């Protein structure tokens, strides 16, 4: 059975963010809460057929574009950039798997 650290290496961004920052009283926790709020409100591009398990939803480009489309403040974008760097270090195989799945579409 793999350890938590070993298993974490393959997580996608959304799952990693949830595990690390759900309910956290921090900019990272606020980012997670805002992301979930957007999903629950079905704001574009989170429409009624939104599927959080589709690979592009967990891609850097897709999330960054979403933040720009909704007019996210500078602090939110900076928080995302910081989170993405942490995610890449913690889950390198997750990043590769997402990229491979997107490229295979």
What pTM was estimated for this model as a whole?
0.76
Q: What is the pLDDT of residues 9-23, one digit of tens each?
A: 667 788 888 889 999
- State the first-to-last Cα distance of the chain, in angstroms, to the nearest integer: 31
Give me the domain span that covers residue 62: 4-103
Neighbours of 79 (CB within 10 A): 21
* Helix (H) or strand (E) segment spanning residue 80: helix 74-90
Q: How many separate domains does the chain show?
A: 1
Q: What pLDDT shows up at residue 77?
A: 95
Q: What is the pLDDT of residues 29-86, one digit of tens each?
A: 999 888 888 777 765 554 555 555 555 567 888 888 888 888 999 999 999 999 999 9
């Amino acid at each position: 059975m793999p350890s938590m650290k070993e298993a974490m290496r393959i997580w996608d961004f959304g799952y990693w963010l949830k595990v690390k920052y759900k309910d956290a009283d921090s900019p990272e926790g606020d980012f997670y809460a805002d992301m979930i709020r957007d999903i629950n409100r079905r704001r574009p591009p989170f429409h009624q057929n939104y599927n959080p398990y589709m690979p592009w939803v967990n891609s850097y480009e897709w999330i960054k574009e979403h933040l720009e489309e909704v007019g996210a403040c500078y602090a939110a974008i900076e928080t995302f950039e910081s989170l993405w760097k942490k995610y890449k270090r913690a889950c390198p195989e997750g990043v590769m798997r997402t990229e491979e799945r997107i490229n295979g579409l």
